């Protein structure tokens, strides 16, 4: 049986105080909640703090991340590898977000490579799919979403 996951992406927002307050507040709200996992994806700068706070509180919150690179190491300034994310306790990694696709020109095939790389490293890819406003208005929603999913299936097979 599938288990639902609710995940919050903080995007390019936050501070140490916000991280602390959000985790403490969310943890308090989750007391007694069963049947759903809750994950957070803070900016990379706050992964260490979030991991410490979650561990200290013995929280059920799952730590995630907003992005990953397709390289394990090397001269890729500013990028984050799956190994680094695991080192900070992140397990659920967002890929394919519309902002990454639009602002960083990440293609469906590149997102599929990220998906495969995360699986290879034992992490859980959180695949975002969706159309732009223009694509929606043109009635292309189903085709765009299918194309984005097909890129992963074509690379890894339907069991991915």
Nearest to 129 by CA among 98, 93, 105: 98
Q: What integer pLDDT is reported at residue 1 of this predicted model?
A: 66
Q: What is the pLDDT of residue 57?
A: 86
Residue whose C-alpha is closest to residue 90's, from 61, 117, 69, 111? 61
Summarised one tens digit per residue, pLDDT across range 105-143 is 999 999 999 999 999 999 999 999 999 899 999 999 999
Give the model's confidence band at 160: pLDDT under 50 very low, under 70 low, under 90 confident, else very high.
confident
Query: What confidence tens digit (pLDDT) does each residue in 56-103 have?
Result: 988 999 999 999 999 999 999 999 999 999 999 999 999 999 999 999
- Per-residue pLDDT at 12: 94
Asked whether the whole model's pTM tops 0.85, one would answer yes
């Amino acid at each position: 049986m599938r288990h639902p996951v609710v995940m919050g992406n903080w995007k390019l927002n936050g501070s140490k105080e916000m991280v602390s307050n959000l985790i403490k507040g969310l943890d308090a709200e989750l007391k007694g909640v069963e049947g759903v996992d809750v994950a957070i994806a803070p900016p990379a700068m706050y992964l260490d703090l979030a991991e410490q706070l979650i561990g200290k509180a013995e929280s059920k919150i799952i730590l995630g991340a907003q992005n990953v690179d397709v390289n394990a190491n090397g001269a890729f300034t500013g990028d984050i590898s799956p190994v680094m994310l695991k080192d900070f306790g992140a397990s659920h990694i967002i890929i394919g977000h519309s902002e990454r696709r639009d602002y960083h020109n990440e293609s469906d095939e590149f997102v599929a490579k990220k998906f495969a790389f995360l699986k290879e490293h034992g992490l859980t890819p959180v695949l975002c799919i969706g159309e732009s406003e223009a694509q929606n208005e043109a009635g292309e929603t189903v085709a765009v979403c299918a194309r984005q999913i097909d890129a992963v299936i074509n690379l890894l097979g339907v069991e991915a």
